[in-house]
């Protein structure tokens, strides 16, 4: 079981870090941060996308901030 999963965020070396997956009432929550800014880990809800192939993290206005394969979350389970 992995403690933190690191996902390449772009082609120039930025990264997305995921940890502490939590499931509650059929919903999935995760803590994340990226190398794009100096914001500490924050917990957000993951949303299923693309027919269940991917998950997305959205901003407060519903804009997709991050999209990644559900395989990355399976590494944390």
**Mind listing the pLDDT tens digit for each residue in 8-67?**
999 999 999 999 999 999 999 999 999 998 899 999 999 999 999 999 999 989 999 999
pLDDT tens across 44-58, in order?
A: 999 999 999 999 999
Instruction: Evaluate if residue 75 carries a pLDDT over 90.
Output: no
Where does the chain have alpha helices with state H?
Answer: 70-74
Contact call for residues 4 and 17 (beta carbons, < 8 A): yes
Structural domain boundaries, residue 39: 4-74
Residue 20 backbone class (left: φ over 0; alpha: ψ -120 to 50; beta: rest): left
What pLDDT does residue 15 have? 95
Strand-pairing partners, residue 64, are: 58
pTM (2 d.p.): 0.86
What pLDDT does residue 2 have? 61
Domain count, the chain: 1
Instruction: Evaluate if residue 1 carries a pLDDT over 60.
Output: no
How far apart are alpha carbons 38 and 15 in whole angstroms? 12
């Amino acid at each position: 079981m992995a403690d933190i999963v690191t996902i390449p965020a772009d082609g120039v070396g930025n990264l997305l870090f995921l940890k502490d997956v939590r499931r509650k009432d059929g919903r999935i929550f995760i803590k994340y941060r990226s190398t794009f800014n100096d914001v500490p880990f924050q917990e957000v809800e993951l949303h299923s996308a693309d027919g269940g192939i991917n998950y997305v993290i959205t901003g407060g206005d519903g804009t997709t901030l991050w999209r990644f394969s559900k395989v990355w979350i399976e590494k944390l389970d």
